[in-house]
């Protein structure tokens, strides 16, 4: 069997139609009706690179030490790409820009940019009858929410327009949210149907997930939105961490909806098992959700860990210690979230309250003192954190490209 795994950037669970959200997404919803939907998946990181690395290894990002695009992934750490290749699948990935994601991950076998839909479709048609493992990082749901390839200058200009609209007032902010929702709808109704047509759905697993959600500078304590990382990256809030996961088996299956907490680190062991790719090492953090997919078994994870990292995207030196790099941790349990600011050694404790059934929305309400066991759980995670390999020359080159994209000032 083949796998088409699509990660749509910045898609919050609660915007999709199948999760009770406001977007018109019948194509995504139809896949959900033929498979298993996890509306309460928790992302392992608040921005793209560490989140995707966690998905593809089953290991939390702070244990991988990855926080820059150009870092080589830890030698000896197996990814799903490695397993798939060994199991005889043709491996290909389509990141938004091959200069960034997977630029130093040879196992990803980058075959083109996801922004070149024609190339992606041609690859899928060409390999239709061969077992493959295709990973697509869909980018047009990311700010500035426009659906065409933009050169860096125009990307920067459009992003600045959106960021300044978010600062202009509530009416303009609502306008940006509408633009974002349109981008999600175009993903589902304009791009996805063409891609599915190029796939033999009787022999292919289709997985749709998101790397993180999106926030809009509305929280108290945030001092506005000045850069892309203020929308996702700097905050471990519900709207940033909650993502959808959808797994449709070949030929489709009964509609299942698993309401418990699952984690994006669970995807790697789940797909390894479902596609019979062999086992990932026993020290991974994720747990297989294959029984949920096959039988509708409840989610098993007790909690989910998420991290944010310091701005080593603009700072080119190597972080001195793990606490220099990993500046925040969140622990999500079904009804609680604990967020730890490492620098201030301060904890924020929240109760999570499900909203009316049928929607994936969860309200976060600030609560009192956190239980000591949860505090210790996060401190123990921090003791496992590492700093990966940083390469100053490579970082400087990437910083130039990022500056052009508007990620850096
Ligand atoms: Zn992203």
CATH number at residue 166: 3.40.720.10
Q: Give the CA diameter of the chain.
A: 57
Q: Distance, CA 46 to ligand 1 centroid (Å)? A: 8
Q: Distance, CA 398 to ligand 1 centroid (Å)? A: 17
Reading the block at residue 337, the tokens are 């979230």
SS3 state of residue 90: strand
Instruction: Classify residue 377: in a domain, yes or no.
Output: no
Q: Distance, CA 117 to ligand 1 centroid (Å)? A: 19
- DSSP string across 275-305: TT--PPPTT-S----HHHHHH-PPP--S-EE
Q: State the average pLDDT over residues 168-172.
A: 90
Question: pLDDT by residue (tens digit) across 266-278?
Answer: 999 999 999 999 9
**What is the residue-averaged pLDDT of the chain?**
91
Q: Distance, CA 102 to ligand 1 centroid (Å)? A: 14
Instruction: Classify residue 122: in a domain, yes or no.
Output: yes
Residue with tokens 């076998």: 109
Q: Distance, CA 51 to ligand 1 centroid (Å)? A: 8
| pLDDT value, residue 356 | 59
Q: Distance, CA 372 to ligand 1 centroid (Å)? A: 33
Q: Distance, CA 9 to ligand 1 centroid (Å)? A: 4
- Give Cβ neighbours of residue 95 (< 8 Å, ≥ 6 apart): 101, 102, 108, 110, 113, 114, 137
| pLDDT value, residue 361 | 62
Residue 141 scores a pLDDT above 90: yes
Instruction: Classify residue 200: in a domain, yes or no.
Output: yes
252: containing domain:
2-301
- Give the number of other Cβ atoms within 10 Å of residue 151's Cβ: 8
Residue 53 scores a pLDDT above 90: yes
Q: Distance, CA 4 to ligand 1 centroid (Å)? A: 19
Q: Distance, CA 10 to ligand 1 centroid (Å)? A: 5
Q: Distance, CA 213 to ligand 1 centroid (Å)? A: 8
Q: Distance, CA 299 to ligand 1 centroid (Å)? A: 25
Q: Distance, CA 292 to ligand 1 centroid (Å)? A: 26
SS3 state of residue 207: strand
Nearest 5 degrees, angle CA 402-CA 406-CA 409? Answer: 90
Q: Distance, CA 59 to ligand 1 centroid (Å)? A: 18
Instruction: Classify residue 374: in a domain, yes or no.
Output: no
Q: State the average pLDDT over residues 235-241.
A: 92
Q: Distance, CA 368 to ligand 1 centroid (Å)? A: 32
Q: Distance, CA 47 to ligand 1 centroid (Å)? A: 5
| pLDDT value, residue 357 | 52
Q: Distance, CA 48 to ligand 1 centroid (Å)? A: 4
Q: Distance, CA 210 to ligand 1 centroid (Å)? A: 8
| pLDDT value, residue 213 | 95
Q: Distance, CA 237 to ligand 1 centroid (Å)? A: 15
Q: Are 58 and 280 in contact (CB under 8 A)?
A: yes
Q: Distance, CA 232 to ligand 1 centroid (Å)? A: 8
Q: Cα–Cα distances in Å, from 4 out to 91, 100, 106, 215, 248? A: 10, 21, 19, 28, 10
Q: Distance, CA 229 to ligand 1 centroid (Å)? A: 10
Q: Distance, CA 42 to ligand 1 centroid (Å)? A: 14
Q: Distance, CA 159 to ligand 1 centroid (Å)? A: 14
Higher pLDDT among residues 302 and 322, named by residue: 322
CA–CA separation, 181 vs 23, rounded Å?
A: 6
Residue 367 scores a pLDDT above 90: no
Residue 158 scores a pLDDT above 70: yes
- Cα 202 versus chain centre, distance: 27
Nearest 5 degrees, angle CA 5-CA 6-CA 7? Answer: 120
Instruction: Classify residue 395: in a domain, yes or no.
Output: no
- Cα 307 versus chain centre, distance: 12
Question: pLDDT by residue (tens digit) across 297-311?
Answer: 998 878 999 999 998
Residue 359 scores a pLDDT above 60: no
Q: Are 83 and 270 in contact (CB under 8 A)?
A: no
Instruction: Classify residue 62: in a domain, yes or no.
Output: yes
- Cα 127 versus chain centre, distance: 26
Q: Distance, CA 118 to ligand 1 centroid (Å)? A: 22
Q: Distance, CA 371 to ligand 1 centroid (Å)? A: 32
Q: Distance, CA 373 to ligand 1 centroid (Å)? A: 31
- Give Cβ neighbours of residue 199 (< 8 Å, ≥ 6 apart): 2, 4, 124, 128, 206
Instruction: Classify residue 343: in a domain, yes or no.
Output: no
Q: Distance, CA 295 to ligand 1 centroid (Å)? A: 31
Q: How many domains does the chain have?
A: 1
SS3 state of residue 76: coil
Question: pLDDT by residue (tens digit) across 381-391?
Answer: 999 999 998 87
Reading the block at residue 22, the tokens are 């406001």
Residue 397 scores a pLDDT above 80: no
Q: Distance, CA 37 to ligand 1 centroid (Å)? A: 20
Q: Distance, CA 137 to ligand 1 centroid (Å)? A: 9
CA–CA separation, 311 vs 104, rounded Å?
A: 20
CA–CA separation, 229 vs 91, rounded Å?
A: 31
Instruction: Classify residue 167: in a domain, yes or no.
Output: yes
Q: Distance, CA 201 to ligand 1 centroid (Å)? A: 27
């Amino acid at each position: 069997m083949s796998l088409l795994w699509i990660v749509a950037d910045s898609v919050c669970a609660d915007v999709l139609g199948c999760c009770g959200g406001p977007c018109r997404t019948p194509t995504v919803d139809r896949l959900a009706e033929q498979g298993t939907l996890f509306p309460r998946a928790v992302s392992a990181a608040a921005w793209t690179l560490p989140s995707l690395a966690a998905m593809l290894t089953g290991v939390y990002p702070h244990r991988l030490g990855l926080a820059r695009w150009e870092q080589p992934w830890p030698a000896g750490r197996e990814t799903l790409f490695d397993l798939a290749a060994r199991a005889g699948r043709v491996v290909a990935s389509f990141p938004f820009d091959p200069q960034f994601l997977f630029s130093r991950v040879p196992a990803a076998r980058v075959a083109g940019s996801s922004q070149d839909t024609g190339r992606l479709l041609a690859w899928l048609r060409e390999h239709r009858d061969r077992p493959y493992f295709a990973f697509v990082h869909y980018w047009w749901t990311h700010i500035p929410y426009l659906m065409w390839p933009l050169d860096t200058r125009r990307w920067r200009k459009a992003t600045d327009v959106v960021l300044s609209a978010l600062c202009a007032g509530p009416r303009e902010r609502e306008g940006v949210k509408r633009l974002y929702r349109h981008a999600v709808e175009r993903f589902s109704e304009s791009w996805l149907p063409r891609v599915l047509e190029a796939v033999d759905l009787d022999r292919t697993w289709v997985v749709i997930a998101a790397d993180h959600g999106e926030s809009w500078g509305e929280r108290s304590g945030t001092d506005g939105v000045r850069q892309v990382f203020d929308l996702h990256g700097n905050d471990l809030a519900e709207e940033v961490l909650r993502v959808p996961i959808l797994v449709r088996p070949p030929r489709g299956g009964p509609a299942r909806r698993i309401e418990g907490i699952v984690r994006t680190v669970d995807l790697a062991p789940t797909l390894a098992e479902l596609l019979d790719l062999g086992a990932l090492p026993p020290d991974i953090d994720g747990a297989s959700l294959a029984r949920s997919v096959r039988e509708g078994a409840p989610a098993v994870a007790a909690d989910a860990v998420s991290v944010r990292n310091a701005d080593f995207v603009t700072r080119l030196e190597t972080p001195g210690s793990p606490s220099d790099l990993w500046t925040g941790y969140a622990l999500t349990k079904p009804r609680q979230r604990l967020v730890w600011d490492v620098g201030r050694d301060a904890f924020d404790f929240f109760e999570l309250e499900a909203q009316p059934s049928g929607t994936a929305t969860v309200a976060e309400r600030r609560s009192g003192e956190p239980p000591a066991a949860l505090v210790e759980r996060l401190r123990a995670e921090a003791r496992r954190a590492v700093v990966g390999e940083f390469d100053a020359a490579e970082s400087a080159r990437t910083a130039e490209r990022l500056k052009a994209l508007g990620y850096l000032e």
